[in-house]
Structure 1
């Protein structure tokens, strides 16, 4: 009996030790950049995705930390195992060779074409963009996809610069998230200038933004599994929609 009691206590304390270690040791490191209203290094009102990610991991009793970099540096840091994951990213075949993607998107949004209301713009198929001066942002998936389609595009390092180029008449059209585009206009332009912009009513696509996990970082597989369970719980509970409404008013 004494031996049995000793074994039970040993198993109990061992389990508590493992659980305690997990709760305190697992702080997953996230790399992201500035892309209001979804993610931002300093503006809390523009950290929708950070709140979703933190809430999902919290449901699995895991904490996360965030550091911010240019987007290309985010890719490098995660690929080389310095961070567990980065967000938000489109899923592509090329990226799937380097990173692991969750099954559930972090967020789904409309991707649209922005232009000045005074600039005639219409499109039926994506190749119609060849008739226009198009802008792209360094590190974004569209840099490669436009090249593959033979669509010439002017590249800039920061997304808001495309809107400045639209306003100056140096490009005709720029493709991005509807929510992000209007956040940039509201934050960086006067009401008078912002009112000159519009977007084409036909969305290019429903864009799925994903968490992208390292294949080399320690415990990255566990991090991805924790997130997948957490985000599904968050959505099922209704809390996911509450957080989105809090930031986007939808």
Structure 2
């Protein structure tokens, strides 16, 4: 009888571990090469980081690739745990929670050299200094509000890719874009004209990319704590460093 009871207890423990290990969550992201893309192995740099962090704490993550605005709607409705990569802002912090830092990021103003309208040493002081140029950006990005407050009339695109094309064909003079994303798109779209693009030396911003987390997703606080624990683990055990190195990034 005792042996039978022990056997039952062991089965329950094993089943519990299997069930716990099978916990699954859903996140959303979009096309933002090299950070996230449905066409990339592992779905891109940051998706690989998020997957590795969750794996460390026995959570299986799956991803829905959506337009950014729709992803935010899904987040608001609690249909996804989080969306990424996002920058923490005071406005967003009022509504969402945020994970630990995944990777550092820099934004820059890109320009097309043959247009001869912008120079690398453009020493802007405030966003209002951009008024003398036709400025381009991407819908839904962090700079929409500060650009509006600066009185800029911005030619917004639905994607960074569309913005790079506008820059190449002279529809805008400068494009606000994340540095790695911008150069990746230039290599993809215009491989024979890479040297004809430039970035203004002064960064547009220096920030940290994170998972932006819904407060309406079931048990989101517990999952957030586990995600943060997973991020700390992959930083400590070298897995994060190896992922970054696979993308030739030192961070």
How high is the TM-score relative to the length of structure 1?
Answer: 0.89
Q: Equivalents in 2 of 1:164, 1:11: separation in Å? A: 63
Q: Equivalents in 1 of 2:152, 2:10: separation in Å? A: 63
Pair 1:225 & 2:222 matched: no
Q: Deviations over 1:170-189 (max 9, x none)?
A: 11111211111100001111
Aligned-pair distance for 1:19? 3.5
Gaps of 5+ in 1: none
How high is the TM-score relative to the length of structure 2?
Answer: 0.89
Q: Equivalents in 2 of 1:64, 1:166: separation in Å? A: 37
Secondary structure of the residue that 2:38 maps to in structure 1?
coil
Q: Equivalents in 2 of 1:32, 1:200: separation in Å? A: 28
Query: Greater CA deviation, 29-38 or 108-117?
Result: 108-117
Partner residue in 2 for 1:125: 125
Pair 1:33 & 2:34 matched: no
Gaps of 5+ in 2: none
Partner residue in 1 for 2:46: 49
Distance 1:131 1:11, change over 3 A: farther
Aligned-pair distance for 1:134? 0.6
Aligned pairs (5 A) from 1:115-154: 115-117=111-113, 118-121=116-119, 122-126=122-126, 127-154=128-155
Partner residue in 2 for 1:22: 20
Q: Equivalents in 2 of 1:9, 1:149: separation in Å? A: 70
Maintained 8 Å contact 1:27/1:64: yes
Q: Equivalents in 2 of 1:245, 1:163: separation in Å? A: 27
Aligned pairs (5 A) from 1:62-101: 62-101=59-98
Aligned-pair distance for 1:149? 2.1
